[in-house]
Amino acid sequence: MTKEEALNQINYLSKEIETHNYNYYNLSAPIISDFEFDKLLLQLQNLELEFPEFSFDTSPTKRVGGTITKEFKSVEHKYPMLSLGNTYTKVELQEFDERVAKAIPNQSYEYICELKYDGVAVGISYKDGKLVLGATRGDGNVGDDVTENIKTIKTIPLQLRTANFPAEFEIRGEVMLTKKAFQKINSEREDIGEVPLANPRNAASGTLKMQDSSVVAKRNLTCFLYFVYTQNQIFSTHLESLQAAREWGFNVPKHVQTCSNINQVFEFIEHWNTERKKLDFDIDGIVIKVNSYQQQKVLGFTAKSPKWAISYKFKAEQARTKLVSIEFQVGRTGAITPVANLAPVKLAGTTVKRASLHNADIIEALEIRINDEVIIEKGGEIIPKIVGVDKSKRDLLSVEFKYATHCPICHTPLERKEEEANHFCPNELGCPPQLKGKIVHFVSRKAMNIDSIGEETVELLFTNNLVKNYSDLYALKKEDLLHLERMAEKSAENIISGINLSKLIPFERVLFALGIRHVGETVAKKLAVHFKNIDAIAAASYEQLITVEEIGEKIALSVIKFFENDLNKQIVEKLKEYELQMQLDESKTIILSDKLKDKTIVVSGSFTNFSRDGIKDEIIKHGGKVASSISGNTSLVVAGDKMGPEKLKKAEKLNVAVISEEEFIKLINYGT
């Protein structure tokens, strides 16, 4: 291939991939399968390797990240990022409307109402249609250059789609995590023993300032863009600029409405005060802007905010109560979480008695003390949190709260690494909550799936000195259990049966069950596939570990540390003696056919000839891909008895084929 041919092909592939990115992430309407998309991306990557001079900054391959930013440079905003004035009542909004009317007398005007996204404000600059800078708000005049991280966000175009954009401009927006992406991150963090993140906004903010852009890419940030700045005015209204930005390829929100008077604004606010609960992202209010740019110019600015725009903040339901005490919980990895015990109070329909305080920094920022009257609200309307302290009601004799210096259970001095928000108890092999937490993780559904053993049973076994680590489970006999409190013969039989059945659990899940810090389900599977058996993983060097896909320095060091520990090595040897699966069963990963190639399949309900996991295994063996939820990318749904009605409704709405178990068997046997 000549250089000219390579350049043409690279340009063609880049445009195709970005179009498919736009269809998938901005329009939620993909027109090719993931498999076909991955093939296009692989072709582009290979061409760029062969012709590195054509590996441009705007290439879709840059979205996977990989750049390490040791320090974020400060950049001055060409257009200051002002903040909006906040209102909380209709009276204040009415007063805003009166000020607008007074400033532009005898003129008709209209408002644009938009959702107020609870994310991180950014300004993104383009030159000749190419993304050249992404910056955080900072103090409004100077922000941080986070361009490499911005490039990983798939809803932000690297190269604009049409040719009618200004030569240079900036677009403002909000970087966010959807609730689904946030829940996935926290689920993965809990799997690997990490403390869950507090809320989507803080998680998005922290992600945007990560030094490794490849980690940012995996977080699946999104971005809504809503304001265009140009040197010369090219639009007459704000709505026109939004419509143009959407045509250029930006993810411009659809929840926008023009209102000809303040009463219509009130209606928009009342609608979204209820409907916001159905959104997959957080909003905390409504933004109201005068639509006409000419009228905006007349209205002007104060020192801090525009006079032609204002935000209405939804009231978070709050309650006041007394902080009775603060206790410290110890997780299975030794992470210490401070928890506030409160005088019971009603909030958003439930009685709240406890609230997480997250870490020492949060407590210090709140300047909280025992017996304070505290203000609580439900963060994301789910998790109670303390948002303030009424210091005017503080007892004069109250003293500053001192954070724990020792583990509340084993009394080992706590440690806190520079890069960690939480304190940790380092006594992982002698601290009871950590030991019990590791056993609970080991028996959990995603790990060894011993459903006859729950947290209460683990507590019972541990307290009675029958089990001190998870390998001890396999030495239990029925008679060991019968003398325990509330342990009937049938319960004892179920426990022993569940333990014996767990010996059939495949190696990758055994590896996950070991509870190696930072090794979640996905990482365990990749290690198992790469090294094939436990001995190879235990013997692997740092250099060998980091060659595995998705294994970075932190995971590699954690794996090495685990297998360097003598007690861990003894436990693993015991598990081998008890005949747990310690090597990959490659027969279960053999591809039998490509009859389901390029098909993304959702499995729902219960079945006669297969278990649900059995059907999933068959899909993979025949070249298909299993998905957990139905989307526009789903090829078909295999439905058994008691399939969820919501899933069925969604499949019908998206015109996704739904087949029975019998039809599935016919499909994999005959391909029709």
pLDDT at residue 632 greater than cutoff 90: no
Instruction: Return the CATH number of 432-504, one of 2.40.50.140, 3.30.360.10, 1.10.150.20, 3.40.50.10490.
Output: 1.10.150.20
Report the chain's mean pLDDT, rounded to a whole number: 88
Q: Would you kindly state where each structural domain of the chain is located, as residue ranges?
A: 3-64, 86-313, 318-393, 432-504, 507-587, 591-670
**CATH number for the domain running over 507-587:** 1.10.150.20
Q: What is the C-alpha separation between 339 and 356, in angstroms, rounded?
A: 5
Pick the CATH number of 318-393 from 3.40.50.150, 3.30.750.24, 1.10.1060.10, 2.40.50.140: 2.40.50.140
**Residue count of the chain:** 672
Q: CA 638, CA 101: separation in Å to the nearest integer?
A: 59
- pLDDT value, residue 500: 95
What tens digit of pLDDT does each residue of 219-247 get? 889 999 999 999 888 899 999 999 999 99
Look up tokens 């309650």; give the residue.
Answer: 319
Estimate to the nearest angstrom the gap between the alpha carbon of 67 and the chain centroid: 21
**Segment 374-428, tens digit of pLDDT:** 999 875 545 688 989 999 999 888 899 999 999 999 999 999 987 788 899 999 8
Among 336-350, 405-419, 529-543, name the one with the lowest average pLDDT: 336-350
104-120 confidence digits (pLDDT tens): 999 999 999 999 998 99
Catalytic residues: 116
Helix (H) or strand (E) holding 204: helix 200-208
What class is the 86-313 domain?
alpha beta
Which conformational region is residue 475 in: left (phi greater than 0), alpha (psi within -120 to 50 degrees), or beta? alpha
- Tell me the pLDDT band of 258, cut-offs 50, 70 and 90: very high
pLDDT for 70? 65
Q: What is the CATH number of domain 3-64?
A: 1.10.287.610
Give the tens place of pLDDT for each residue, 52-67.
888 887 788 877 655 6
Q: Return the pLDDT at 381.
A: 47
What would the CATH number be for the domain defined by 591-670?
A: 3.40.50.10190
Q: What type of residue sits at position 482?
A: L
Backbone φ and ψ of 208, nearest 5°: -65, -20
Domains 432-504 and 507-587 belong to one CATH topology: yes
Burial of 421-458, coded b for 16+ CB within 10 Å and e otherwise, reads bbbbbebbeebbbbbbbbbbbbbbeebbebebbeeebb
Q: How many CB atoms lie within 10 A of CB 401?
A: 18
